[in-house]
Amino acid sequence: MSRSFQDHRLTEQRNPDTSAIDTASPLAIVDLIGAQDASVPAAVAGARHEMAQAIELIEAAFRRGGRLVYIGAGTSGRLGVLDATECPPTFRSPPETVVGVIAGGYDALVRSAEGAEDDREAGAAAMDDLAISDRDVVLGLAASGSTPYVQAALQRARLLGARTVSMSCSVPAPELREESDVVIYVPVGPEVVTGSTRMKAGTATKLVLNTLSTGAMIRIGKVYGNLMVDLQAWSDKLVDRGERIVMEATGADRARARQAIEDAGGAVKTAIVMVKRSVDRDGAEALLAEHDGRLRPIIGDPPPVIPHD
């Protein structure tokens, strides 16, 4: 019997563990999907060295004033845009520092535009539109390991001098490997529903992007201990979180923390320095600039973690 219908890509193969899932009860479906999802973290951990290499590249890009640019199609592209969007409120990074690009443009975020993944010219043009340079890192997201849009984008990015990283959940196509300084390969195996890469591959992609962006932000001083000190207190939730962080880092009471954040223009890290070093906003900002944005050399080690009762 001919097997020409079978695809060599892991993300397109059938999963023998879920071949009868259409007959399963709701609880059995939950258990089957959960069992498959449980294997994803180990697959991601298998690429730990490559992820560390990528963090080093991204950190270096940030330090020279460059950007991290995610580019992908479908679910992969949406996850890149999501991660980029979440960096400014979490780390007070300028919106242009981490950029997400999806094949098909903004409309593809809310409406399927799957054919856009085959447009090589659009992938290359996206790099030109962003004026990619040797200061930047471009990270191509291709769950299948063979997305033409992403391959062309990485090729163009390298020609423009950028460092390049690719992330896939199937064996990367030779072209993808050739255009990547770092290859993050996370073989999560066949999906619960054949080819539905919004599932295990999507979960793996989210875990990888969380690690890369957070890791690079930590490396450039956006975190003190494990406190999110570089947030910008704009919403009520973030104002409350910011006040609690200032209180924990400095020992100040709520009123003092609130006033310091107001005096710092909403910048929590600046407020911490103002309280701990008894300086005004200009003085705090000067100290942060002198110490590359890192709090430890300015105010010492963070307080120990106090467990909840």
Token pair 């070093």 is found at 277
Q: Cα 127 from chain centroid?
A: 19
Residue 152, judged by CB atoms within 10 A of its CB (0-12, 13-18, 19+), counts as: buried
Residue 99 phi/psi, 5-degree rounding, is -120, 135
Catalytic site residue from 12, 50, 59, 86:
86
Amino acid at 47: A
Which phi-psi region, left, alpha or beta, contains residue 196 (left: φ > 0; alpha: ψ -120 to 50)? beta
> Rounded distance, CA 115 to CA 231, Å?
38
Residue 193 structure tokens? 């529903």
Token pair 């100290």 is found at 287
3-state helix, strand, coil in the chain (%, to 5): 55, 10, 35
Of the chain, the end-to-end C-alpha distance in Å amounts to 65
> Rounded distance, CA 268 to CA 95, Å?
18
Residue 2, judged by CB atoms within 10 A of its CB (0-12, 13-18, 19+), counts as: exposed
Residue 173 phi/psi, 5-degree rounding, is -60, 150
**Is 59 among the residues known to form the active site?**
no
**Is 262 among the residues known to form the active site?**
no
Catalytic site residue from 117, 243, 248, 285:
117
Residues labelled as active-site residues: 86, 117
